[in-house]
Structure 1
Amino acid sequence: MAILSRTGTRSIAFVLCLAWFFCQFKVGLAKGLHKVPDPSGAHPAAPLGGHQKPPGPLPAGPGAQHKTHGAARLGTIFNVLQFGARSGARQSQSQPFVRTWRAACDFNGPASVVVPPGVFTLAETVFQGPCKGPPPTSITVQIQGTLKAVGDPSEYSDKYWISVEHVNGLLITGSGTIDGSGPSVWKYDDCKGNTNCASLPSSMYFNEVQNAQIKGLRFLDSMGFHMHISNCAEFSIIGVHINAPRDSPNTDGMHISRSSKVKVLRTTIGTGDDCISIGQGAVDVTVNEVTCGPGHGISVGSLGKLPDELDVNGVTVTNCTIIGTENGIRIKTWPGSAPSKALRMLFSNIVMDNVANPIIIDQNYGSKDSKPSLVKLSDITYEDIRGTSSTPTAVSLSCSPGAACDNLMLNNINLQPKIPTMRLDATCTNAKVKYIGCQFPPPCAPHPP
């Protein structure tokens, strides 16, 4: 066996260190030559919020940047700053936002609109498709900053602030905020005493949108509804937070109508009206792991106010918590309505915490019309509903004499008084009910039409 001298050992170590240093230098040089663009989409030479165009041509037209590696699913980035949007400006930035959307929507490839951190004031804004990106997501919108509504009702010609229309394959995601500036306009809402009132604008209105996901956003203080989903299909709302004061008027968390296969998952809603309202034409709606309160609870309806309304068919509400609301699970229909149906509903594993009217059907809602409601309710199951009621009547099934409720089932209902000395009861009118398992308060006797 050869034995190296101390001098020889040092020489070999020096050569190995030199080789290692040379390899690291080559790797660093290669990384520098393939640097990934800034995720914000802003060119280093462009001042934040300015109108300066980035030097040199960008791929896919002005304002676009390619993304690679971990952000590949974002495709080509279209940053609103590169299209003239300015954070902190008091004037509406709707035009730069629409220009950004148009460029991304018309791009033949995966494309993303990016709203970086900052506050961007918008007036009435319409984002229209169809978009040219490949399925399953034709366009992505990543919101990191705050969109703030112009707080002047005269700026809005329609019933929305931001509208997204005619898109197949939409993803809106991010940790940003949609601020509806509601406190500046709620004083103009007179719907409490006027059933024919004009609604204030919804913060986000989706019309004819398919295969969509809305994920992670925060909605704040809408003028009207926070979200309105109409004529949509395969539409999911995941991990969204909605907040407005308890006394804010008609600020539903979300209203779903004329839409199918809508899912609301892992979402928190506190507002001044229904946390979720499911309107006419809703088919196969799923609500799971939603926390609701304050507000008016989770509602099906109101139904029957307008002529020629479509049926509601298939509503599943499961694993939800309702806290301090004016109603729990509510079905509401207008008297004097045209004939329609609402059927196949399941309300399961729901916790009520200090809730008024935890289980309520009200077919005499919103009017003193002497004609009965003709909305037929059937195949409705309440199971594993538990918690506390703040009102003496914990279960109220007030069905229409013109269209009695059929095939109602109450399975394992355990509602206790919030105040221990309060006595709870259940009432039924024109309801055909089947009871299974525990029933507290004790069931009311079925009352046929």
Structure 2
Amino acid sequence: MPRSSAHGAFGAAGDSVTDDAQAFSKAWDAACQIGRSSVVFLVPDKYSFLTQSSLFKGPCKSYLLFQLDGRIVAPSGPNKWSSRNSKSDWMDFYGIHGMTMQGGGLIDGRGEKWWNLPCTSALRFLKSSNLKVQGIGVQSSPKFHVCFDDCQNVRLEFISINSLGDSPKTDGIHIEDSNNVEIHHSRISPGDSSHDVDITNVTCGPRSKHGIVDQELWPKITFNNIEMDKVKNPIITNQYYCLKDHYPNQTAALKIYDVSHAQHIQCEKPTCAS
């Protein structure tokens, strides 16, 4: 199976200091253009690759295996963010139709210094399909850890997402305008308009502020056999979810009924999220 590694032929240093974004871009372009049944994009073990904002764009000529064995780290803070980068997300995969991201490696957003800024999700998939993410770790995102926006046929399993307990708005997995999404056997400990979302055997917490957030509720949603430990807001159902200072608050949006709960449930008036 053909392999394309950012380290070596494409010049990545892997020393966590040198900006390896261009080496990653060259390795991706080479892998994407190989017309074989499947191609490996390798992030090798024992190396730590610092990258500025990167776009991994498809469609590609073959099915890609993104083998993450090493570490990918973001710049240490906004003052280290290159002036040539005007985009808000760190690692963007756009228009990918057929890819597996796997391995025992780590994506480290080093995001604590970013939390007061309205930008920079760590790992984002946009307008993509037939995706599988398994085994990897994502930590300390500047904003959302893993995002799926306008994606179809997605499966996540055995992934680990971690952030500090007081991190604001660092959703673990953010799903928006996507369908046929499955999340299994994963641990999410982070500080929308979707359907056909299957979440099974997922542990929320400890230290999670939000366990599962349904921002735009659709009918016939069932939560069964869920155990959460030390989660401030285990399940949130918002009648009207909006961004502060962007949209006016509304008090009547959706009707919620036939709610059954094994223990105490507290219902509040819908408010804008900060």
Indicate whether the TM-score tops 0.5.
yes
Shift of 1:159: 2.8
How high is the TM-score relative to the length of structure 2? 0.86
**Distance in 2, Cα, partners of 1:158 & 1:94:** 14
User: With CA pairs under 8 Å and 6+ residues apart, which has the higher RCO, 1 or 2?
Assistant: 2
**Distance in 2, Cα, partners of 1:171 & 1:374:** 38
Does residue 374 of structure 1 match 2:253? Answer: yes
Correspondent of 2:13 among 78, 81, 86: 86
Q: Equivalences for 1:18-417 in 2 at 5 Å?
A: 75-81=1-7, 82-109=9-36, 110-117=38-45, 118-133=47-62, 138-153=63-78, 154-155=81-82, 156-186=85-115, 188-189=116-117, 199-272=118-191, 279-280=192-193, 282-293=194-205, 294-295=207-208, 296-301=210-215, 303=216, 312=218, 315=221, 317-334=223-240, 371-377=250-256, 382=260, 385=262, 394-398=264-268
**Distance in 1, Cα, partners of 2:40 & 2:260:** 43
**Distance in 2, Cα, partners of 1:209 & 1:98:** 18
**Distance in 2, Cα, partners of 1:149 & 1:213:** 23
**Distance in 1, Cα, partners of 2:145 & 2:134:** 14
Task: Write 1 or 2 for the structure with the bigger share of helix.
Answer: 1
| 2:16–2:73 contact (8 Å) kept in structure 1 | no
How high is the TM-score relative to the length of structure 1? 0.54
**Distance in 2, Cα, partners of 1:326 & 1:250:** 14
Count residues in correspondence. 260
The amino acid that maps onto 1:149 is A
Corresponding residue for 1:341? none
Pair 99,326 (structure 1): closer, same or farther in 2 beyond 3 Å: same
**Distance in 1, Cα, partners of 2:43 & 2:184:** 24
SS class of match (1:297): strand
What is the Cα-based RMSD across aligned positions, in Å? 2.4
Pair 313,125 (structure 1): closer, same or farther in 2 beyond 3 Å: farther
Q: Percent identity?
A: 26
* Structure 1: runs of 5 or more not aligned: 1-74, 190-198, 273-278, 304-310, 338-364, 387-393, 401-449
| 2:77–2:110 contact (8 Å) kept in structure 1 | no
The amino acid that maps onto 2:265 is V
The amino acid that maps onto 1:112 is V
SS class of match (2:112): helix
The amino acid that maps onto 1:299 is V
**Distance in 1, Cα, partners of 2:23 & 2:220:** 41
**Distance in 2, Cα, partners of 1:220 & 1:185:** 14
Pair 370,143 (structure 1): closer, same or farther in 2 beyond 3 Å: closer
**Distance in 1, Cα, partners of 2:56 & 2:267:** 43
Task: Write 1 or 2 for the structure with the bigger share of strand.
Answer: 1
Using the TM superposition, name which of 201-210 and 320-329 deviates more.
320-329
